[in-house]
Structure formats: structure tokens, C-alpha cells
Chains A and B, each alone.
Chain A
């Protein structure tokens, strides 16, 4: 195969994974060699690096923003609207009623989709609130979507989706929140401008306390299907950062295969009819 400009040795692979791990918290073992090699080859070709050593030097110097391009190539952006909607149901039937009980009318409610990939999740939250939360007009709802992948964020801001992303939405919801467009690649659906304006997008790294702190504190954080890509140490850092990103009494929702209890002792496990979520203890409350 002429996939790689020059062969990447096991030692190169190890050095590269070490670099990626330190920058993103994502840990790739030799079992993921094929996945890593393909993306690495893609970046080496794109930067016309003749050898791995040349590419690594470019990466270390972050020439032409190569670190960002590399991160973009390694993030996985497979998602769709209303994914794991039992958690969205939990948001409107349990979490928000509990949260706003302690707030005056008109107060701010901050919801964070982190990572938000190409925007399906934060837009789903906005749509779900409009459809299912009778108090949607009573609070100043701020929805923020963040990701480490700047290419995904640009796509989220554009808000143009293919049929697959909409597969869980009924035709009435699609008609209400999207406008159909015919593109070169076939039909696509653009999110309504008002819905797009209801979400603010920012770039952020879950394992970097500084970029996390810049986002402020939230009432609810959706952090789904990302910790599975981290090793134990990164998971713990991410959990600490998530804890700091929550207001006291705020909730974090993980993917259904993930459990915070196995990662961090800081959170209280809350079992609701529709989902298990994790709460930062309120002031003066013990875990």
C-alpha cells in the first residue's frame, strides 16, 4: 500500500499517540492502529511531509495551525437529532423543574452541550424545550455548544444537515424547524435562523481547565459519548473540569454506556424515570 509517504514504525506510532494524548486526552492503543494510521497519513499528505519525523516536527512547532487540523481529523462527529431522547425527556420532566424551583422567574438557565460536534445536540435541546417545556418563555435560556473540533463548530454554525441527521425527527418537526435546500450533494435541511440564534458556539477542550473555565458555569451539561475515548487519568481531569463547570446543584448527563461513579467521587448519582444523571452537590450538601 502506498498509503503512507514513508512507513510509520511502532516507535513512531507510540510517540504520535503520546503527543495526541497530551494535547487532547484521547488515548489510542495499538488496537486502534488502523484508525490512527489512516488519519495520520491523511495529515502527512495534506502537509506534504515526506517522513514521520518531518511531520512530527511540523506538529510540535504547530506550523500553519497543524495541531488544530490534526485534532479535527481525529474527532468523531457521528451524531443525529434527538439522539438518546430519554435524557431530553428527563431534562424537561425532572432536571429543569428541580433547577428552576430555586430561581426567580426570568432568571438565566444555562445548558451546555460539550462536545457538541456539528450542532445536532444543542439544537435538539432547543427544539425539545420549545416542544416540551411549558415554561420555555419564563426563563432566560442560554444554550451553548462547544467542541475541540473547529471544523465541526463551523458546520454547526452553518446548520445544514443531511437526511441521516434527521432520521429520528417526525415530518412535523422537520417542517417546523428546517427549510429544505437542494445542494450539489442532494437534498439538505437548513435549521431556522431563530433556532440557530438560540445556540452560541465556542471552541473548548474538555481536559483543559483554562478553556473550560472561560465558558462560565452551567445548570445542565450534556457530555455524552466522549469520556469513552479517554483513559482513566484524562477522564478524571475531565470530571474535575465538569464539576467546576457546574453551578452547585447542576447536572451532568453522560452517554448511556458511561458512568461517572466509576470516574469521580465528586458527584451525586440521581436516578430518574428516564435517565441516570449526576449532580454537583448543592452548597453545604454532601455527596
Chain B
């Protein structure tokens, strides 16, 4: 028997796209606790492969990543057909400047949050965007 708690089959699915394994683990912990089913990708390219394969209710995307950054990833997602193009997206970054905020908005982010993200902030924004309360 696996000791991993079983998620209901209809739990909202989140894809966390971040190159830092500790950050992915932290977000996964918070989001699973809030009732989401969480998948992970290490960069934009892997993220794209994932969104083409499985339906997601939310994307949590870091800006700074090697290979393909968060802006390029999100632009690519927004360039696909529905329903992929309309998956809500929350961008995360350590940059608090207006330029990055604007770039995130142009790339199609619904929220732009500056790290660190406390548990309650991430949970509240994820729930708001995923459209239903897990």
C-alpha cells in the first residue's frame, strides 16, 4: 500500500513550472495541502510538453528559468488552441519592478506575485484562479 494520501479524481490539477527543486517542493506541499493535484516541470519546454498531454486547471510559473523562461512559456501556451490557451496562470518572480509585471501581463499571466509567497497567499490566489474551491 502506498502511504501517499489519495486525491479525489476531480481535484483541480496544477502544473508548477520552476527550475528550483526546493521551490517546486515548497509549492507542491502548499498546494497539495489545499487540495490540488500537483504536477511539476523543470522549465518552459518541459512545461509545454505537459500542458499538451494533460488538462490543467492552473499554471504556477516562475519567470527565471533556463532553456525557456516563464514569459516565453506562457506566450506559447496562449498561442495554442482552447482549452489549453485559457488555462489560468499565476506568475512568480523575485523581481518587483513594473517592467516584469507588465511583461507578465503581456505574456498572458492572470496574477503576478513577488516571492516569497506565504502559504495563505499562494493558496488564496490558486483557489481564486482555479475557479473552484478544492
Contact = CB atoms under 8 A, between A and B. Distances in A.
A115 to B, nearest CB: 22
Contact of A130 (B4, B22, B93): B22
B20 A176 contact: no
A248 to B, nearest CB: 23
Interface in B36-85: 40, 64
A141 interface: yes
B103 to A, nearest CB: 16
Interface string A130-156: 100011111111000000000000000
A126 B22 contact: yes
Interface stretch (A87-95, A190-198, A206-214, A233-241): A190-198
Nearest to A131: B29
B93 to A, nearest CB: 8
Contacts of A180: 3
Interface in A53-80: none
A141 B25 CA distance: 13
A7 interface: no
B23 A105 contact: no
Interface residues of A, number: 23
Given A137-B27, A137-B115, A137-B116, A198 B94 contact: no
B29 A176 contact: yes
A287 interface: no
A266 interface: no
A194 B4 CA distance: 15
A107 B114 CA distance: 14
Contacts of B40: 194
B80 to A, nearest CB: 27
A192 B94 CA distance: 26
A175 B3 contact: yes
Interface string B91-134: 01111100000000000000000111110000000000000000
B contact residues, range: 20 to 34
A198 B3 CA distance: 23
B15 to A, nearest CB: 15
Chain A to chain B: the 4 pairs with minimum beta-carbon distance, closest first: A106-B94, A105-B94, A198-B21, A138-B115
Contacts of A136: 22-23, 26, 116
Nearest to A175: B3
Given A105-B95, A140-B20, A195-B21, A134 B3 contact: no
B121 to A, nearest CB: 11
A197 B26 contact: no
Contacts of A17: none
Given A137-B116, A137-B117, A129 B94 contact: no
A133 to B, nearest CB: 9
Q: Could you say which of B21, B26, B95, B117 has the most chain A C-beta atoms within 10 Å of its C-beta?
A: B21
Contacts of A137: 20, 22-23, 26-27, 92, 115-117
